[in-house]
Amino acid sequence: MNVFVSVCDYSSEEYAAKLIGYIRNNVQGNIFVIGGRILRGLSDDKLTFLLDSVRYSSIGFFENLSLIPWMYLDYIKLRSFLEKTEIDLAILFDSPAVNLKLIPIFKSKRSKIVYIIPPKTWSMQRTLIHKFIEDNCDLVIVPFKFNLKVYTGPNVYFVGHPIVDTIANQEFEAKKNLDTVGIFPGSRSFEIKFVSKPVFQILDKIRDRFRKVWVSSTPNTQDYIVSKFGNRINKDFFLESDYISMVSSIGLALAVSGTVVLKNSILSIPTISFYKVYKISEFIFRKLKRISVEKISLPNILWEYEFEKGREKIVPELVQEEYNPLQLLRTIDEVLVNYDYYLEKIKEFRRTFWQFYSPGTIRKISELINDYFLQSKKG
């Protein structure tokens, strides 16, 4: 049996690496993966790394325009490989822009398909995408319990969110350290270069408000940060690649909206979340695709729809035009003035989160995959 694993963003790489560790001994054939540096590092006689798909990761339609020719060439190569290679099981993580295109290939080859964190898990209304995934995938694993309102098929399972297994110590307690701030500029190239640009533009003003500034880096972003801001490292800010080490010393975080905002909230770190895409992408989202999102941060979405605590935003959000240097500074000042309120809310979020989710999610996912496919009990 040959297994293919598709990963296109940094967070899913962490989940996939742990999942591969659980299932690899039950895979009698080869494991082929697309991903980034984390999965590349797992390469050996059993696991073959095919291409770097994380470098193409983006949100929006035109944010990676310059990379489209390379994306297309890699897709053609990948499609050719998959069409001539026997793949018995495909495990897809998130990233619908890539994985929705791969599903027809696997269906034509009669491969079994597992989709972990499928598309539109933030949606509150069932759409054709939900039905397509249910109809074409053999096993669908959703990250949130409220997803079961829109993913309703008998092949859909909720066992928790994989993020719980990437947080080393759920007993971690954030310090009320108001003189230290952490900046999380994102794990995608587009986020570093475009989304986080306003933050670096006002770095001097941020330093006026805090004694120490930390900037987080990932294996996929560290080289760019060093090349772009190397002369400011250890002068205007300190660079940190270890997440737990960084959050252990900060009292407030400024973060690109995404998985890191959820991680911060689980560890009770008050966070200001921000995001923006190109205006043309916003137009397509709002006008053509008619996508309207009231909240972008997972803690705020969970607070309302999973925990049913209310509609308030316990994580301040700055999106599109609202996200600019002046408004960011105003929001920082507002959070500092009302810090006890935000800290108490995020601590309540943390307590509630651990009531809903427990460690061992990736192990449970591996058991489902083993039971359904690798041990041929079902399928």
Tens-place pLDDT, residues 332-379: 999 999 999 999 999 999 999 999 998 899 999 999 999 988 875 333
Report how far residue 371's alpha carbon sits from residue 230's, in angstroms, rounded to the nearest whole number.
Answer: 49
For residues 125-151, give the mean pLDDT. Answer: 94
Q: What are the two backbone dihedrals, phi and then psi, of residue 39, each rounded to the nearest 5 degrees?
A: -75, -30
What was the pLDDT predicted at 82? 94
Tens-place pLDDT, residues 180-216: 999 999 877 778 888 888 998 999 999 999 999 999 9
For residues 307-332, give the mean pLDDT. Answer: 93
What was the pLDDT predicted at 128? 92
For residues 281-299, give the mean pLDDT. Answer: 60
- Return mean pLDDT, the chain: 87
54 in Cβ contact with 23 (< 8 Å): no
For residues 68-94, give the mean pLDDT. Answer: 87
Kindly report the number of other CB atoms within 10 A of residue 176's CB atom: 10
Query: For the chain, which residues make up each domain, given as ranges?
Result: 3-165+359-374, 180-356
What was the pLDDT predicted at 290? 46
What was the pLDDT predicted at 358? 87
Report how far residue 368's alpha carbon sits from residue 311's, in angstroms, rounded to the nearest whole number.
Answer: 34
pLDDT of 280 over the 70 cut: no
**What superfamily does domain 180-356 belong to in CATH?**
Glycogen Phosphorylase B; (3.40.50.2000)
Tens-place pLDDT, residues 52-79: 887 765 554 444 545 555 566 888 999 9
pLDDT > 90: percent of the chain: 62
Report how far residue 18's alpha carbon sits from residue 322's, in angstroms, rounded to the nearest whole number.
Answer: 38
| Confidence label for 171 from pLDDT (cuts 50, 70 and 90) | low
For the domain spanning 3-165+359-374, the CATH number is 3.40.50.2000
What is the dihedral sign for C-alpha 126, 129, 134, 140? Answer: negative
pLDDT of 26 over the 50 cut: yes
What was the pLDDT predicted at 378? 35
* Whole-model pTM over 0.75: yes
What was the pLDDT predicted at 62? 43
Q: Tokens 């941060």 sit at which residue?
A: 297
